[in-house]
Amino acid sequence: MAQQARRWRSGVAGTAVLGLALTACGGAKVGDDSAAGSGGSGKCGTFNLAVNPWVGYEADAAVVARIAETELGCEVVKKDLKAEIGWQGFETGEVDAIVENWGHDDLRKKYITEQKTAVSLGSTGNKGIIGWYVPPWIAKKHPDITDWKNLDKYASNFRTSESGDKGQLLDGDPSYQTNDEALVKNLKLDFKVVYAGSETALIQAFRDAEKNKKWVIGYFYEPQWFFSEVPLVHIELPEHTEGCDADPAKVACDYPVFDLDKIVSTRFAKSGSPAYDLVKNFKWTNADQNTVAKYIALDKMTPEAAAKKWIAANPDKVKAWLS
């Protein structure tokens, strides 16, 4: 889904706080008594876990939640929140943890450095890659398309009713951290960014494009189970260098490789909750996440069932997180 780049678009949505009637997975609403934060020292109590809208994050959250419930006795409240909205809940205790953060340097500055309502608990172990991709059939038939300098040569093939006389560059959920509109403008490409609306819609577009030989180019990312089904081909954009994306409006370089990390509220970090140590110790690989994500997205398992299956197969990793 760092530096204004994710998988997810940086910037807090206006000045709205979590008082919006955002509904938690368990049916609670932000602002309910159940959002009062974690229990006292050594006791878990309520563990408020943000769930951002992509299946990789859902896999992280499912595994952490199940272990917190079954091993630590926590009452886990999952809250479906856009990435930037979750950060707003740290100060009030309405969100305890975000277990997969993709950069968001502006949010780090505001909530970690300035307000000091949040802290980073280090890497999840996952390496995040964002970029532009095409289905394999296009790259095989037109191998030069993987160089961004040749994209305009094929722009007319990507036109849709939504992109008009320009080629369509398909993005996912508008809340994902993305530089794509700036990239199209600054690289002077004959394309227009169109939002599919969700990860599911983005995946279906690529799946259909490969199956029916349709012209689709779009934003995508790793870790992501879908690559095992359709091995999308990456477009080489201008190389990312330190600071090349410092100004969101002037970005003209590729995305960096993200070291995904975990963010928790400062009050949660001081609460003595055993769930804090679980989040701090939680670390796995892209392959681990992709396995659980595939169970959920492709095998149609519930997140709880997917987590249970993975946990049963990986007792040593779970033991390390609880030690």
Q: Which tens digit of pLDDT belongs to each residue from 247-291?
A: 999 999 999 998 999 999 999 999 999 999 999 999 999 999 999
The whole-number pLDDT of residue 42 equals 58
Select from 283, 278, 285 the least CA-distant residue to 322.
278
Residue spans of the domains in the chain: they are 33-127+260-322, 129-257
319, pLDDT greater than 60: yes
Q: What is the pLDDT of residue 182?
A: 97
Cβ contacts of 259 within 8 Å, gap of 6 or more: 2, 123, 127, 128
CATH number, domain 33-127+260-322: 3.40.190.10
Is 100 a residue whose pLDDT tops 90?
Answer: yes
The answer to whether residue 29 scores a pLDDT higher than 50 is: no
Per-residue pLDDT at 175 exceeds 90: no
Out of 6-20, 35-49, 285-299, the most confident range is 285-299
**Containing H/E element for 72?**
helix 55-72
Residue 15 clears pLDDT 70, i.e. is over it? no
Q: Please tell me the pTM assigned to this model.
A: 0.75
pLDDT at 131 over 50: yes
Which token pair is 26?
A: 């368990």
**What is the distance between the alpha carbons of residues 146 and 105, in angstroms, rounded to a whole number?**
29
Q: Of residues 25 and 318, which shows the higher confidence score?
A: 318
Q: What class does CATH assign to 129-257? A: alpha beta
Is the peptide bond preceding residue 223 cis, with omega within 30 degrees of 0?
yes
Asked whether the domain spanning 129-257 has the same topology as the one spanning 33-127+260-322, the reply is: yes
Mean pLDDT (the chain, rounded): 88
- What pLDDT is recorded for position 106? 87
- For residues 109 and 5, which has the higher predicted lDDT (pLDDT)? 109
